[in-house]
């Protein structure tokens, strides 16, 4: 195919994707180029979440997830360590984004099932190594549209201008050869004010309902975010027949 025709097809595909979002949600999906987040909420953090699964009346602890957030003048680095008794190899996810707009620069994820690396430059390059099948998939494609990395958007939610009734569509990129690779969306469907009791004290929170195309919008997530500090206190993920819960250990 001639280069001009190929470029035209890619431009049409990008325009079609943007129009679909506009017609479906009545608003443009946010991306680094039109990010309404408030960077003053971003603080260096180190916190741990207890990871539980609830099924019927039974609660079982799966492990803990420790998150480190560090920023300098230009970059924001997010690192998560997952600790589970049955893990035979460390599970570490690392993401680097631009501090000014949270545009992705780098994402890696290493665990016993697969290794994955993405470099976000003029072209998207990287690989996905499935350790179960031994199949390694290379990534090398143009970066035609603006998006957030799928690993950083849950943090972005905390820093948006949340209020009762707030809704938003977020453009994200996900790389998984076993499901889909490309630009997809996460959707903030509802934001409500609630009060949680922490250590016997009431705490006002935003309860944020989010779905995304990674799960075909079939597994709603609820984020409980402290209104005063924007600290994530709790996350619930509804799954068929059970619920996953992440609860902050060091409430402060």
Q: Over the stretch 172-201, which tens digit does the pLDDT of each residue have?
A: 999 989 877 789 999 999 999 999 998 888
Asked if residue 83 lies in contact with residue 69, where contact means CB atoms within 8 angstroms, the answer is: no
pLDDT classification of 19: cutoffs 50, 70, 90? very low
How big is the CA angle at 179 (ends 175 and 185), to the nearest 5 degrees?
60
Asked if residue 171 lies in contact with residue 159, where contact means CB atoms within 8 angstroms, the answer is: no
Q: Report the distance separating Cα 37 and Cα 186, nearest Å.
A: 16
Give the chain's domain count.
1
pTM of structure? 0.86
Res. 51: pLDDT tops 60: yes
Asked if residue 126 lies in contact with residue 119, where contact means CB atoms within 8 angstroms, the answer is: yes
* Closest C-alpha among 140, 251, 171, 159 to residue 208: 159
Range of the domain at 95: 3-248
């Amino acid at each position: 195919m001639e280069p001009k025709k190929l470029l035209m097809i890619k431009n049409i595909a990008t325009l079609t994707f943007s129009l679909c979002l506009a017609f479906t949600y009545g608003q443009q999906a946010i991306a680094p180029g039109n990010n309404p987040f408030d960077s003053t909420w971003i603080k260096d953090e180190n916190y741990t979440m207890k990871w539980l699964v609830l099924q019927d009346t039974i609660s079982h602890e799966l492990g803990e997830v420790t998150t480190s957030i560090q920023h300098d003048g230009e970059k924001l680095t997010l690192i998560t360590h997952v600790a589970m008794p049955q893990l035979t190899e460390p599970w570490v996810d690392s993401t680097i984004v631009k501090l000014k707009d949270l545009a992705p620069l780098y994402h890696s994820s290493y665990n016993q099932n697969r290794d994955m690396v993405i470099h976000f430059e003029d072209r998207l390059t990287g690989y996905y190594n499935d350790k179960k099948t031994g199949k390694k998939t290379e990534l090398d494609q143009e970066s035609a549209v603006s998006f957030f990395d799928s690993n950083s958007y849950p943090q972005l939610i905390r820093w948006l201008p949340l209020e009762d009734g707030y809704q938003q569509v977020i453009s994200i990129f996900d790389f998984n050869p076993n499901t889909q690779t490309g630009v997809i969306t996460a959707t903030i469907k509802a934001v409500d004010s609630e009060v949680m009791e922490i250590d016997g004290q009431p705490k006002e929170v935003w309860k944020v309902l989010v779905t995304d195309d990674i799960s075909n919008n079939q597994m709603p997530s609820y984020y409980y975010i402290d209104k005063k500090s924007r600290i994530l206190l709790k996350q619930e993920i509804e799954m068929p027949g059970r619920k996953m819960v992440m609860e902050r250990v060091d409430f402060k």
